Amino acid sequence: MCKALKSGAEGLEPGRWAQLLKLSYESFLEELGLYAGQSARDLAEAMYGSAPATWSVLCLEGAARRTGDLGRAAEVLEGGMVLNADADRLELRERRAIVAAGAGELPTELDWLGRALLLRGNDGLQMRARLALAMGARQRSRGLFRVLVDRSRGPAPALGEPPPWALRGWGLALLPPGPESSVSPGGPAPQIQPYIRNPSIHRD
């Protein structure tokens, strides 16, 4: 199949090329489902080389990321932003932020999240709010998650329902921070006491 893709559409009967691309995509998904990383990656590279478009960019980015090649994933996503129209750039920017997060590149992640937020990206907003929560910026996180919750409310909501992290994240950001542990690093683990609703009935 990779050889057929690399040969291109020349010489094929009308409609055969579209059928080959469809079959290749279905085979790619099957290989991913079987955790056959390298064969899925080979097929994704062939699809991207033969038919560069948003769908093939996302296939190759996903396969490269799953096989640990974050550099290739970033390269393909940034190349896809040049090839594709503005309508496709939001998802590519959000994916690029995910790749940067996986590589531990916080400044790059924030850069791409900012670019996604310029296009009103919901996933990018979720990721930025989650990152703020993880860094202890609870007020900032609460405000960002609230934007997503509000987008699903009102007479003309922009979203049918809040994105999956929005309500959970907003709820977590509303909670007060937990007490810090008094045990020094490397010290003995604290004894965990079971929660008892009415302690009096358990007394001797």
Residues 6+ apart with CB under 8 A from 136: 177
Asked whether residue 36 falls in the same domain as residue 75, the answer is yes
Q: Which of 92, 119, 146 is the last residue of a domain?
A: 119
Asked whether residue 83 falls in the same domain as residue 139, the answer is no
Query: Please, what's the b/e burial string for 66-86 (b: 16 or more CB within 10 A of its CB; e: otherwise)?
Result: eeebbebbbebbeebbeebee
Domain region containing 159: 122-175
* CA–CA dist 119, 92 (Å, integer): 12
The model's pTM is 0.74
Residue 187 is assigned to a structural domain of this protein: no
Asked whether residue 48 falls in the same domain as residue 147, the answer is no
Q: Is the pLDDT of residue 200 over 50?
A: no
Work out the percent of the chain whose per-residue pLDDT is above 90: 49
Asked whether residue 107 falls in the same domain as residue 160, the answer is no
Selection from 119, 103, 106, 101 nearest residue 70 by Cα: 103
- At 45 the pLDDT is 96
Residue 29 is assigned to a structural domain of this protein: yes
13-44 pLDDT, tens digit each: 878 999 999 999 999 999 988 888 899 999 99
Q: How far apart are the first and last CA of the chain?
A: 75
Asked whether residue 109 falls in the same domain as residue 153, the answer is no
- Tell me, what CATH number does 1's domain have? 1.25.40.10
Query: What's the count of helices (H) and strands (E) in the chain, helices before strands?
Result: 10, 0
Across the chain, the runs of DSSP E, i.e. the strands, are none
Asked whether residue 20 falls in the same domain as residue 104, the answer is yes
* CA–CA dist 37, 40 (Å, integer): 5
Asked whether residue 78 falls in the same domain as residue 140, the answer is no
- At 179 the pLDDT is 64
Task: Read off the pLDDT band of 185 (50, 70, 90).
Answer: very low
Let me know: does 119 contact 94? Beta carbons within 8 Å: no
Residue 85 is assigned to a structural domain of this protein: yes
Task: Read off the pLDDT band of 195 (50, 70, 90).
Answer: very low
